């Protein structure tokens, strides 16, 4: 039995939370390997809804080890709040079942201030970030001025790191006309939060190596989606980290060969939050219907998601760049009752046809979808747990998607409920 990496194959919000939770029953360890508190996973268990951000989905299951890897940028105050919120919902969270990479970079309040100020000054050209400081935190990480979790345990190093990062932040804040950060206040805030998160900190790469050596099943939990990858997405309208499965190794400290099977999550249609190209976007009544039926609002931000038909070109590219072996198709039930369903099979730009997403920003903005039509179905698919429960036309739609994207459906989700899942192929069996 192998390990599994779960990644988004669209622009995020594909329903990874439920799939990771479903798979975590078969896993021993669940690892977050990139992103920050801008990512949100909603899990519905019985009558309780859990909205997770930094915490891996494994925390909702007893007996699982959850790890926040070094590839994640961590807002320590948001983490403390989230832990307390989940405890109030009845979850047992302690250093025995939650571990935090001691070499993970921290998100500071000034990261959020810079994030919001810079995007606001872009005006109509704003990227549409969540404003939570994710991008600036990753900038500081690669700029070698980040404060890391381990620095909280070393007062001398922390003082030096605070001075170094504020030399940069305050210069930027002055230039943007924003209030500067008080050094003493930031240092005091960090020393106050330190004892709240340091008990969880340690060299998680060792824990993962030990788990692998003992044959434990490891589930790597990605955030956002392939089209938001900083290298392979619709740049610059992307997140600030690599979201493809290759990051699972670098963002956790485990060797690439140990990652194993890659499961890509994709909705039966397409959504996107924020600005950026979206060739299949529907701004008509059909788009509104998809959004209403799919409850398309951001888990953490509440922002309304843009909705459109399934983009097979983008998903096929995500499968190629991400090494995806199979997909989990989610929210099929949202398409119930449509007489006609469209699928984007190519793009048209000027007199040219494209079978891939071009890298250029202008080219991406000018893409027009080339559609083929599929027959809809009247019967409900909500709650289906086997192929026999699905209408023949729904199965035909799924098979056509498989042909177009070049990957099989391994899992099929028909509602937010954990058990409303059709297992076609067990990812852990590969």
Catalytic residues: 13, 41
Task: Give how far Cα 123 sits from Cα of 117, 129, 276, Å.
Answer: 11, 13, 14
Give me the numbers of helices (H) and strands (E) for the chain, helices first please: 12, 18
Instruction: Answer yes or no: are the C-beta atoms of 54 and 68 closer than 8 Å.
Output: yes
Locate 84 and state its tokens: 């307390």
Cα(134)–Cα(35) distance, integer angstroms? 7
Beta pairing, strands 368-375 & 340-349: antiparallel
Locate 9 and state its tokens: 């194959």
Cα(238)–Cα(293) distance, integer angstroms? 26
Instruction: Give residue 428's Cα distance to chain centre.
Output: 21
Cα(105)–Cα(34) distance, integer angstroms? 11
Give residues with Cβ within 8 angstroms of 167, minimum separation 6.
Answer: 145
């Amino acid at each position: 039995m192998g390990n599994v990496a779960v990644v988004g194959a669209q622009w995020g919000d594909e329903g990874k939370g439920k799939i990771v939770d479903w798979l975590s029953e078969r896993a021993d360890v669940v690892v977050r390997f990139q992103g920050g508190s801008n990512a949100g996973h909603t899990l519905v268990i019985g009558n309780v809804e859990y909205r997770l951000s930094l915490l891996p989905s494994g925390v909702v299951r007893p007996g699982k080890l959850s790890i926040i890897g070094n590839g994640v940028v961590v807002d320590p105050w948001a983490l403390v709040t989230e832990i307390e919120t989940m405890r109030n919902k009845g979850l047992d969270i302690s250093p025995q079942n939650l571990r935090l990479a001691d070499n993970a970079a921290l998100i500071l309040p000034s990261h959020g201030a810079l994030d919001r100020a810079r995007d606001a000054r872009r005006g109509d050209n704003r990227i549409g970030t969540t404003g939570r400081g994710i991008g600036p935190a990753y900038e500081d990480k690669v700029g070698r001025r980040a404060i890391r979790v381990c620095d909280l345990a070393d007062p001398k190093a922390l003082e030096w790191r605070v001075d170094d990062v504020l030399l940069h932040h305050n210069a930027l804040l002055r230039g943007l006309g924003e209030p500067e950060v008080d050094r003493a206040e930031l240092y005091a805030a960090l020393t106050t939060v330190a004892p709240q998160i340091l008990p969880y900190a340690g060299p998680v790469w060792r824990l993962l190596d030990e788990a692998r050596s003992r044959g434990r099943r490891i589930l790597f939990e990605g955030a956002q989606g392939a089209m938001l990858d900083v290298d392979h997405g619709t740049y610059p309208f992307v997140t600030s980290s690599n979201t493809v499965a290759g990051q699972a190794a670098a963002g956790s400290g485990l060797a690439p060969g140990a990652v194993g099977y890659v499961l890509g999550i994709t909705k039966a249609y397409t959504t996107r939050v924020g600005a950026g190209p979206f060739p299949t976007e529907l701004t008509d009544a059909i788009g509104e219907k998809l959004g209403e039926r799919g409850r398309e609002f951001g888990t953490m931000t509440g922002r309304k998601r843009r909705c459109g038909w399934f983009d097979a070109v983008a998903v096929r590219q995500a499968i190629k760049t991400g090494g995806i072996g199979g997909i989990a198709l989610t929210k099929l039930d949202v398409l119930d009752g449509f007489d006609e369903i469209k699928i984007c099979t190519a793009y048209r730009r000027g007199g040219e046809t494209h079978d891939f997403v071009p890298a250029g920003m202008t080219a991406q903005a000018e893409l027009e979808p080339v559609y083929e039509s599929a027959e809809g179905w009247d019967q409900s698919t909500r709650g289906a747990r086997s192929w026999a429960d699905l209408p023949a036309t729904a199965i035909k739609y799924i098979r056509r998607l498989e042909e177009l994207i070049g990957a099989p459906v391994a899992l099929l989700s028909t509602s937010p409920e954990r058990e409303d899942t059709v297992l076609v192929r067990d990812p852990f069996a590969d």
